[in-house]
């Protein structure tokens, strides 16, 4: 494999190393799935995005964790689009359509008064499934007691591309120790 340039972006922060890190590989059309997986493993971030051409949308993005491909990743999408926009690849574009494994998603770009780039991404249609496990064991597995889970709200799985367990916590206090 030739040398591949991986751009490092920290989504959702203007402070280096304080956002959600993602690797971005531009012009990834010639990479095999195996090569993308190897790159993601070497990069070591939760997700690395691979930007490709698309026959169905303006561009395609594939997402790999160090262990496998995933359908969609919000922060890696934002990192990819910021990379493309800030490097002039999307000059004059206020919107585009991206192809992902969950389908085609619309993207909009705008500028704030202070010239900050805002990127808006429409998520896939949300899906929900009830959690049918033991709430006490769940609480223990995340280091809290069952009493700290709000019993007035459901524990459930939600997805707009990746399934996530949503656990309503009564009161979350972060210690500075």
Closest Cα partner for 8 from 53, 45, 55? 45
CB 156 within 8 A of CB 168: no
Read off the tokens for 107. 């993207």
DSSP single-letter state for residue 148: G
Helices marked H in 5-158 — which ranges? 33-43, 74-86, 135-141
Catalytic residue among 47, 101, 147, 148: 47
Q: Is 127 a catalytic residue?
A: no
Residues 8, 80: contact at Cβ < 8 Å?
Answer: no
Cβ count near 73 (within 10 Å): 25
Residues serving a catalytic function are 47
């Amino acid at each position: 494999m030739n040398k591949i340039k991986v751009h490092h972006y920290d989504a959702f922060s203007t402070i280096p190393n304080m956002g959600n890190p993602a690797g971005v590989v531009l012009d990834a059309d010639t990479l095999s799935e195996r090569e993308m997986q190897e790159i993601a493993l070497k990069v070591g971030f939760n997700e690395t995005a691979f930007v490709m051409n698309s026959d169905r949308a303006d561009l395609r993005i594939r997402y790999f964790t160090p262990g496998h491909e995933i359908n969609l990743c919000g922060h890696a999408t934002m990192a990819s689009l910021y990379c493309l926009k800030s490097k002039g690849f999307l000059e004059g574009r206020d919107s585009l359509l991206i192809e992902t494994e969950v389908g085609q998603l619309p993207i909009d770009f705008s500028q704030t008064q202070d010239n900050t780039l805002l990127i808006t991404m429409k998520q896939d249609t949300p899906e929900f499934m009830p959690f049918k496990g033991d709430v006490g064991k769940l609480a223990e597995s995340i280091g809290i007691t069952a009493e700290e889970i709000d019993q007035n709200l459901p524990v459930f799985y939600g997805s707009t591309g990746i399934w996530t367990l949503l656990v309503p916590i009564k009161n979350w206090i972060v210690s500075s120790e």
